[in-house]
A = this chain, B = another copy of it.
């Protein structure tokens, strides 16, 4: 029945944790058949239960992805504690084991014998490129990074990072597939430390950290600059387009904008403390004191639910606005 629904390629998810579960729901939302693998049958059945419960909840809340019902999507997802069985007939493999280079190496060595000439094997790694662990594989040219952002079901970005040996067709196929299931992939030309997302994120944290240490603003006010100032804009418009749109009566486009304002930006960034910046413990302790006033340790879990509710609501709003425009 499930295959009748889709007739699409099969997806193998290696690792049944939160990220693996999210990937399974994303691919099923796109109409793909998915098999979740983990070592212990209990892990697999627990993951399937969570996925089932989440998809049902998302349907009720109106934030289920894709055009199939929750029941249909659940029907597309199965589990296995046999790696061979999971990989059989799969054309795309998304590995989601913990972020440890030796573990990644071991898992990829186990996958290697099953990699066919039509298969792509992606790691969900947030900072370890395939160059660090896949070099000895026979099929290393079919491996790459596809790094999702938390929570992947509501934050569509995926960083595609090819290794030095990854075939261009493998990179291209990954991008096409991820776009087909509603993610928003970007393609890096090569591995760099932090990929793109964390390079931007650390740029932000560095300056926030330096301003805090310098006594310029409180930690709460620093976070407000983003949440009530830059953040809403960045939910819809990137930093480069922002420069283009900021062209005003005096300037007509991004080039004019740079000619007029680049020197001012240069002067401001001349006063930056040069990187690298170490996020030191005494400063972290001071910030923690402030942050804990609103989010004490026992409320962190609750606040994560609060965050994910908002991200889900924003994803729904963006979808609705997009449908209105298209």
**Chain A residues at the B interface, C-beta cutoff of 8 Å:** 127, 149, 154-157, 159, 184, 186-190, 192-194, 196-208, 211-212, 215-219, 221-241, 243-245, 247, 252-255, 257-259, 261-272, 274-281, 284-285, 287-288, 291-292, 295, 297, 300, 303-304, 306-307, 309-311, 313-315, 317-318, 321, 325
Task: For the complex formed, measure the closest distance between the CB of A185 and the CB atoms of chain B, giving whole angstroms.
Answer: 8
Per CB-CB distance, the 4 closest pairs between chain A and chain B, nearest first, are: A223-B238, A157-B229, A231-B234, A194-B268
* Complex CA–CA separation, A233 to B309 (angstroms): 11
Q: Assuming A211-B196, A269-B206, is B235 touching A231 (CB within 8 A)?
A: yes
* Complex CA–CA separation, A288 to B225 (angstroms): 28
Inter-chain contacts of A291 with B (CB < 8 A): 240-241, 244, 254
For the A-B complex with A155-B229, A194-B268 known, give 15 more contacts whose Cβ atoms are closer than 8 Å: A156-B228, A186-B222, A189-B217, A193-B270, A196-B225, A199-B211, A202-B265, A222-B238, A223-B241, A232-B318, A237-B307, A240-B291, A254-B291, A258-B281, A267-B276
Q: Assuming A234-B235, A262-B279, A268-B198, is B228 touching A215 (CB within 8 A)?
A: no
* Complex CA–CA separation, A204 to B243 (angstroms): 12
Inter-chain contacts of A205 with B (CB < 8 A): 239-240, 243, 265
B199/A226 in contact, CB under 8 A: no
Inter-chain contacts of A157 with B (CB < 8 A): 224-225, 228-229
Inter-chain contacts of A156 with B (CB < 8 A): 228
Task: For the complex formed, measure the closest distance between the CB of A276 and the CB atoms of chain B, giving whole angstroms.
Answer: 4
Partner of A227, one of B217, B219, B234: B234
A204/B203 in contact, CB under 8 A: yes
Partner of A266, one of B203, B276, B303: B276
* Complex CA–CA separation, A291 to B311 (angstroms): 27
Inter-chain contacts of A297 with B (CB < 8 A): 252-253
Partner of A216, one of B196, B212, B216, B243: B196
* Complex CA–CA separation, A184 to B309 (angstroms): 22
Partner of A203, one of B207, B245, B279: B207
- Closest-by-CB residue of B relative to A304 is B245
A278/B262 in contact, CB under 8 A: yes
Inter-chain contacts of A208 with B (CB < 8 A): 200, 238-240
